[in-house]
Structure 1
Amino acid sequence: MFALRIGFLDVGWIDLLDILIVAILLYQIYNLVRGSVASRVFVGYLLVYLFYLTVKGLGLSLLTTILEYFISVGALALIIIFQQEIRRFLLLIGKSTSFANNKWFRRWLLRQSRDVDQAAVLKPLVEACKTLAAEFAGGLIVISKNDELVKYVESGQIIDAEISKPLLLAIFSQYSPLHDGAVIINDGRIQAARCILPVSDDDNLPATLGFRHRAALGMTEVTDATVIAISEETGRVSLAVNGELQYNLGITELEERLRTYLLQPSQRQGLAPS
């Protein structure tokens, strides 16, 4: 069996594998918190822990005991400090798991009773976005994929109507009492309007980014939905997917990206944009 002796340490294949896995994990955690205040806390705590390992290896018992108490208390503090990042990390794992995207798993275990023809949803939706952008009306539209959005639906006004261009235009009219907030589309129907969405707390976002776009990003950070944001000031259309915002899309490009994200491969075939 391979073994390498470095000073007083015996390093084997298992040790190297252990180090590699820990290094990858630390790198991913750093990428998750990079650019925020939490990243400095993470680096600081990591340096303290490395100092603790060095002190322990040198056999300095008193300093080792002090640092052990500090690290045990610091672990609890880290959970509090990194609660948003931990939540985002767990949501990322949940969104990427193959179970969440398995049709039979969703149907029988998550009780999703029907597969919706998303292609039929896209046409009136894209046409409404085109008109809203041309009229500088502004809008925020959430299209669900697999995740349940019940909490967000209940925060608004329940509608439960078939999706149509006239209805979307009426909702986002400046004279409508429902135009503030987001419309949520689920199972091919407009479930609710005037819904409250979570706002992204990413410190790297441009200061010029408005509340509507921050809400679109925030929604896609915690769910697998895609969100269309139409600027009231510029009329530009943006699409948020998986915590990323795609700016200033043309209507044809918007339709293509929605089709790519929402439709199954079998539904995309023979459905070229008009």
Structure 2
Amino acid sequence: MITAFITLGLFDILDILLVAFLLYQVYLLIRGTVAINIFVGLFLFYLMWLLVRALNMELLSSILGQFIGVGVIALIIVFQQEIRKFLLILGSRYNVNQKFSLENWFTKDEVGFQEQEIASIVTACEHMSKSKTGALIVIAKNSDLQAYADTGKIVNSRVSGTLLESIFFKNSPLHDGAVIIANNRILAARCILPVTDSTNIPGSLGLRHRAAIGMSQATDSHVITVSEETGNISYIMGGNIKVRITGADLKKFLAGDYSGFIV
């Protein structure tokens, strides 16, 4: 036990480390969004209240204290989008039912694509890249994407390059939206995805890429985009994006080799 001006024990050190870790996770969650400015403003407001109390300014301290007293409710109102995003991450990435279900236990090794399915996706993306056909393909990992699939049209078909190209063909009724691939099948098309509110995204990336990044932030899904303007293929995971990749790069990523995914 360390004794100086204060008494610091093992649990005190653990408490400080846990609070520091929690604040760091909050920072990562709101980094690059307008919420970071609100967070800094609230933190400065709290420091001002502590200073006023230390100077025994009773009237001002009482007024500020009323705001501090309802601080939790204010935080919920101000950061409702960020709190919802945090709960979505917890629910999708640390789903207890998925981790302990018997079905997941016996099929946990069957998480990747077969070579034929990889070849179909890569070929379709290369063709759409050459013809500058916009595409947005979501690949489910552990998260249950049924809620997102329900926003579109259920397809439930085997993965086929021809089908993917047909879906994203400009005159197709299903081209506007995302295709969701889950359990090695095309689950749905024309799906609506959550759009990221990050301010760090280059202006050259449009709404399709923002939706891809938002989906990868809200779930553990990996997303492929083909730009309608440039034909560039991009791969997105964990909120990070690798732009202008080749068909060979895409094939490696789909096979689970992310060694070239430099952000």
Is 1:247 aligned to residue 247 of structure 2? Answer: no
Please say if 1:18 is aligned against 2:33.
no
Which residue is equivalent to 1:87? 84
How many percent of aligned residue pairs carry the same amino acid? Answer: 45
Match of 1:265 in 2: none
Matched, 1:2 2:27: no
- Quick one: which amino acid aligns to residue 136 of structure 1? K
SS of the residue 1:238 aligns to: strand
2:159–2:186 CA contact under 8 A, matched in 1:
yes
Contact 1:181 1:194 in 2 (8 A): yes
Residue 260 of structure 1 corresponds to which residue in structure 2? Answer: 256
Q: Which is bigger in relative contact order (C-alpha 8 A, separation at least 6)?
A: 2
Equivalent residue of 1:260, what SS? coil
Structure 2 length-normalised TM: 0.84
From the superposition, tell whether residues 261 and 59 of structure 1 become closer, same or farther in structure 2 (CA, over 3 Å).
Answer: farther
Matched with 2:261 is: none
Aligned to 1:164: 160
**Displacement after TM superposition at 1:175 (Å):** 2.3
2:50 corresponds to: 53
Deviations 1:124-154 (A, max 9, x none): 1111111111111121111111111111111
Structure 1 residues 151 and 97, CA gap change in structure 2 (3 angstroms):
closer
Query: Within the alignment, does 1:67 sit opposite 2:64 as a pair?
Result: yes
- Give a deviation string over 1:152-211, Cα, whole Å, max 9, x none: 111111111111111111111122111111111111111111111111111221223211
Q: 1:195 to 1:78 in 2, by over 3 A?
A: same
Paired with 1:58 and 1:3, the residues of 2 have a C-alpha distance of 28
2:233 to 231, 237, 248: 237
Structure 1 residues not aligned, in runs of 5+: 263-274
Could you tell me which residue of structure 2 aligns to residue 269 of structure 1? none
What is the one-letter code of the residue matched to 2:37? R
Partner of 1:266: none
Structure-2 change in CA distance of 1:261 and 1:46 (3 Å): farther
Letter in 1 for 2:171: Y
Which residue of the other structure, out of 197, 201, 205, is the alignment partner of 1:205? 201
Give yes or no for contact 2:123–2:161 (8 Å, CA) kept in 1. Answer: yes
Does the C-alpha gap of structure 1 residues 147 and 17 become closer, same or farther in structure 2, counting only changes over 3 Å?
A: closer
**Unpaired segments ≥5 residues, structure 2:** 259-263
Could you tell me which amino acid in structure 2 is paired with residue 51 of structure 1?
Answer: M
Local SS of the residue matching 2:4: strand
* 1:107/1:114 contact within 8 Å kept: no
**Partner AA of 1:229 in structure 2:** T
Q: 1:137 to 1:119 in 2, by over 3 A?
A: same
CA gap 1:25/1:54 in 2 versus in 1, 3 angstroms: farther
Does the CA-based 8 Å contact 1:135-1:235 persist in structure 2? yes
For residues 253 and 126 of structure 1, the distance between their equivalents in structure 2, rounded to whole angstroms, comes to 9
* Paired positions, count: 256
